[in-house]
Amino acid sequence: MGIGVLVAGKEIMLVYLAGGVSGLTVKAAIGWREYVAERLSIAGIEVRDPLRGAEGEQHKLKKLGPTKDDSDDPAMSDKAFFTRDRWDVLTSDVILCNLAGAERVSIGSMFELAFGVIHNKLNVIVLDKSPKDLHDHVFVRESGVVFYNLDEAIDYILSCSGGERKRARRRSSAIHKTGQTASS
């Protein structure tokens, strides 16, 4: 059984980036996702970001949360967000769910983890190591592999990506340790 999809004859691992949005700034919601995407892309791993297209569009992020949809745009409807995110989870290999720093319980992320469990995805979860962590619950902990550090979770995903990516994994880890970017 292979991992990922075939692109130009090569298998590409797909990682869905789940995590809270409500209560976070645009920078906080998007920043960690960009960081993960950069680290994983070095190893040839593709990410699926539920916030794609939201950069510079704070009103799109404000809409995501417990309030009812009032948009006339079908692409911005509750149904569109739910359906696209579910599709992204079901067609990904790994669900990386970063719940560290969450100020509110992320109901959407809980659904995404459940979709992952039901469809035999590898759920990799990042929690805060604090007794006050809103998501430290038996159902969350038992739904995947739990880390208390985003970089350790990324390294774990890289280790699952296959032997042909070992060099890229070492390069990604080296870049993380030196603080360089992929374009450096």
Q: Are 45 and 161 in contact (CB under 8 A)?
A: yes
- Name the nearest CA neighbour of 52 among 83, 77, 29, 25: 29
Q: Are 127 and 136 in contact (CB under 8 A)?
A: yes
**Chain mean pLDDT for the chain:** 81
- pLDDT score of 130: 80
C-alpha distances in Å from residue 50, one per residue of 32, 81, 124, 143 = 13, 8, 16, 20
Write the pLDDT tens digit of every residue in 14-57: 999 999 887 777 788 899 999 999 999 999 999 999 988 765 55
- pLDDT score of 183: 47
- Strand 145-147 and strand 10-12: the pairing is unpaired
What pTM, to 2 d.p., does this model score? 0.79
Lowest mean pLDDT among 70-84, 91-105, 160-174: 160-174
Check whether domain 18-56+80-178 has CATH 2.60.120, yes or no: no
